[in-house]
Each structure stands twice: as structure tokens, then as C-alpha cells.
Amino acid sequence: DPLPPGSPGPRAQLPPPVPVERILASGDLACAAQALAQACDQLNAYYEPWRAWGEAARIEPLARLQARERAPFTGLCGEVPRRHLPGADALDEMAAQWQALLDFGFWHALVRQHGLSRAAARRHITHLLLAVTGPQPAAVSEPRPNRRKSP
């Protein structure tokens, strides 16, 4: 749905696609959270001219577009933790928290009200997404060789 003539922003341009396959194929939770934060940053920046003033709901093509995106996005916020934290407690609560942290209102407050750069907002949002999941086991690494010389 192109936006009506006279709408601010790029009328003929659709919002940037969310790279769902890349996010779900991420090797670990941190990479998936980072990719999801990046995708939401791009979406939030795209929708900002309308959402900042509460216009999104009043512009019918935009409202329809956002409604179509909402269910898949909610599913993605649940699928990422489920894939990387199988058997974790409270996955539904975790998905709701992720969705809230990725919401336009939170992003807009960080970027516009508090003056963070978009890169800083993405970094902080990624850290908060990971904090919601609770402590994770440390990565297993190979033992380092003993470099001490025997007497």
C-alpha cells in the first residue's frame, strides 16, 4: 500500500524488510538479538515521521501495513528465544518483554528525548534484550596451554 499523496516521507517506498531468515539462522542468541535490534531500528526510523505524531493509526494504508507486520513480529520475538533457550522458563513473558523493548516508543525515547545516537540505542537495546533472558552459561573454550617453565 503506497501512502497517500502529501504524506511525509518516501510515499512509494515500502518499509525495510525484516530479515527473518537471517535472524533465525543466527548462531547464538547475542547475534540474533543484535540483528533483531538492527532491523527494528530501521523500521522505527522509517515509521518515525508518522508514529512520532500519532499519525500512523489515522492513515489507513499505514495502519493496514503495520497491522500486517504485527503478528509476524510478535511471533519472531517469541521464536528467537525459543530457538536459543530451549526449555527456558517463562518464554512467553520473555517474548513480551522483547517486543516492548523493540517498540517504537522505547526507541523514540532513547533517540529523540534522550539524544542517544541510533547506534547507541541499538547497542543498549541489544544488551537489554539479552538481560531479559537471564544469565547464560559461559561459552566453552579450549584450555590454554600452561606457559610456565618447569624448574
pLDDT digits (tens, 9 = 90+) for 65-96: 777 777 788 889 999 999 999 888 889 899 99
Report d(CA 122, CA 119) in Å as an integer: 5
pLDDT at 57 over 50: yes
pLDDT digits (tens, 9 = 90+) for 103-128: 999 999 999 999 999 999 999 999 99
pLDDT at 150: 59
Greatest CA separation found in the chain?
A: 82
Beta-carbon count within 10 A of 90 CB: 13
Report d(CA 107, CA 101) in Å as an integer: 8
pLDDT at 6: 46
pLDDT digits (tens, 9 = 90+) for 14-54: 778 889 999 999 999 999 999 999 999 999 998 888 787 77
Task: Look at the block and give the residue holding cell 521464536.
Answer: 79
**Confidence band for 1, pLDDT divided at 50, 70 and 90:** very low
**Confidence band for 139, pLDDT divided at 50, 70 and 90:** low
Sign for the CA dihedral angle at 114, 119, 122, 127 comes to negative
Tell me the whole-structure pTM to 2 decimals: 0.76
